[in-house]
Amino acid sequence: MRRIALAAVAASGLTVMLAGTALSDETDWGAYEVGDKRSGYTYAATETRSIQDDDFENPAMLWVDTGQELWDTVEGEAGKACASCHDDAAVSMAEVGAIYPVYYEPRGKLINIEQRINLCRTENMKAKAWKWESRELLSMTAFVRNQARGRPVAVKIDGPAAPFYEKGKEFYYQRRGQLDMACKNCHEDNAGNMIRANLLSQGQSNGFPTYRLKWQKVGSLHRRFRGCNSQVRATPYKAGSDEYVNLELFLADRGRGLPVETPAVRN
Amino acid sequence: MVAWQSLGVLRALICGAGIAALFATGAAAEEFVAFKIVDNESIAKSLTGKPGDPARGREVAINRKQGNCLACHKLPIPEQPFHGEIGPDLSTAGSTYSAGELRLRIVNPKIVNPDTFMPAFYRPFGLHRVSKDFQGKTILTAEQVEDVVAYLTTLK
């Protein structure tokens, strides 16, 4: 609940400001701003922020609650629930949301939280993997990441993760699509500027899975990547692709120190 | 990217010669028109050989699926509520630039500034992972480019 206290600090003095307009540099955003890194929260409209601030109002908490139920549900041939092995998620999952994606030795590449969950389903529970963007996988991902809420993002980018981080970085700066735009054109060079009716944020990933008012549901970070690729008329990659997991690591490091906000609420 | 600067003329000519046929496939694709860049500063001649229509150009600048110039620029189009803050205000572009200079900046602003955020509206090559519906196609047709040029020249 540390988060809610911080939100209150950030909100004080903002009430007179208009929703959706660029806010002055002097605003104290509390934990949502670390050096020059700013969470998407700080670019969101006042009403959107207030929905996120209150767990009872935040519709994404329904997904977190579903995740909690699934955590205790026995499934698969091994006759286990997540809780059978991991017990209290508040303890066993306290860090995961802040440190993923990680390098996973048996596969020789990075895995993100969704993939880690599905590994436990297939290998440890002998249950079927959940589909990407399914209610179950989104709920469990939101639940697991929510355990780390308030913790600063602190991924590992050295050692065996280093080459994957480099690939993610390359992706971020590569122009693509008929409109020939890179992530950095919008989220690095123009954060704080209006692109027609949209206020561009830094495109940080600390709040995912996120409830988008536009989607009327919770969506994964990779869904967001696909949207940001499609809008420049580029062919998106598959959710869960290596390209997107590498990009996910680069983005996490780009937002290093920002608190995990899952489940965030955005436009 | 730097190559664009020096190869501007060459590329444009190559396109005119060999690539036109390639890009003329899709339903909406039209033949890619060759053009000549003068001193990396200007495309003096109309792509269609005719002057454009400023009223239609204004519509192209508004339309989110066409020019969508309003995504990044402010224009004297008061009935549209949202004007972007990314590029310069174009309210007097017609007195700053000649028609030829405007044409080059719309066709391919990367010849003037390789790092610009502004898309090249008439350059169907040199792109990465273009989605299927847009492959081999320019963002604007030659006619639409001319309409936008005609519109901008009225902004003094």
- Select, from the ranges A10-14, A76-80, B10-14, the one with the highest average predicted confidence (pLDDT): A76-80
User: What residue ranges define each of the domains in chain A, with the CATH number in brackets?
Assistant: 46-267 (1.10.760.10)
Does the pLDDT of residue B10 top 60, yes or no? no
Residue A117's closest CA among A108, B144, B53, A134? A134
Say whether residue A181 is in contact with chain B using an 8 A CB cutoff.
yes
Mean pLDDT of B88-104: 98
Task: Look at residue A30 in the predicted model and tell me its pLDDT.
Answer: 92
How many alpha carbons lie under 13 Å from residue B64 in its C-beta half-sphere?
9
The one-letter amino acid code at B52 reads G
Cα–Cα distance measured from residue A132 to residue A139, given in angstroms and rounded to the nearest whole number: 11
Which residues of B lie closer than 8 Å to A, measured between beta carbons?
Answer: 64, 68, 70-72, 81-86, 117, 119-120, 127-134, 137, 139
CA-nearest residue of chain B to A185? Answer: B117
Strand partners, A175: none
Q: Does A241 touch chain B (CB under 8 A)?
A: no
| Nearest-by-CA chain B residue for A188 | B117
DSSP per-residue codes, B118-129: SPPTT--SS-SS
| Mutation for testing the A interface, residue in B117, B133, B139 having most A CBs under 10 Å | B117
pLDDT score of A37: 98
Angle, alpha carbons A48-A52-A34 (nearest 5°): 95
| Amino acid residing at A174 | Q
Q: Is the pLDDT of residue B107 over 50?
A: yes
Pick from B66, B81, B71, B155: nearest CA to B118: B71
pLDDT band of residue B39 (cuts 50, 70, 90) is: confident
Written as one string, the DSSP assignment of B37-98 is: -BTTTB--S-SSSS---HHHHHHHHH-TTTT-GGGT---S-TT-S---SSS---TTHHHHS-
- Whole-complex ipTM: 0.86
What are the tokens at A97?
């949301």
Length of chain B: 156
Interval A228-259: pLDDT, tens: 999 999 999 999 999 999 999 999 999 999 99
Q: Which of B70, B119, B132 sits opposite A196 (nearest CB)?
A: B70
pLDDT tier for residue A25 given thresholds of 50, 70 and 90: low
Per CATH, the number for B33-153 is 1.10.760.10
Mean pLDDT of the region B87-91? 98
Name the residue ranges covered by the structural domains of chain B. Answer: 1-30, 33-153
Q: Is A238 in CB contact (< 8 Å) with chain B? A: no
> CB–CB of A178 and B83 under 8 A?
no
Provide the CB-side half-sphere exposure for A242 (13 A, CA).
12
Residues of A in contact with B84 (CB under 8 A): 193-196
Lowest mean pLDDT across A17-26, A59-68, A87-96, B134-143: A17-26
Integer-rounded Cα Rg, in Å, for chain B is 15
Under 8 Å CB-to-CB from A169, ≥6 apart: which residues? Answer: A250
pLDDT tens readout for residues A43-57: 999 999 999 999 999
Sign of CA dihedral B71, A248, A207, A151: negative
Q: Are strands A194-195 and A198-199 parallel, antiparallel or unpaired?
A: antiparallel
Q: Look up the pTM and report it.
A: 0.91
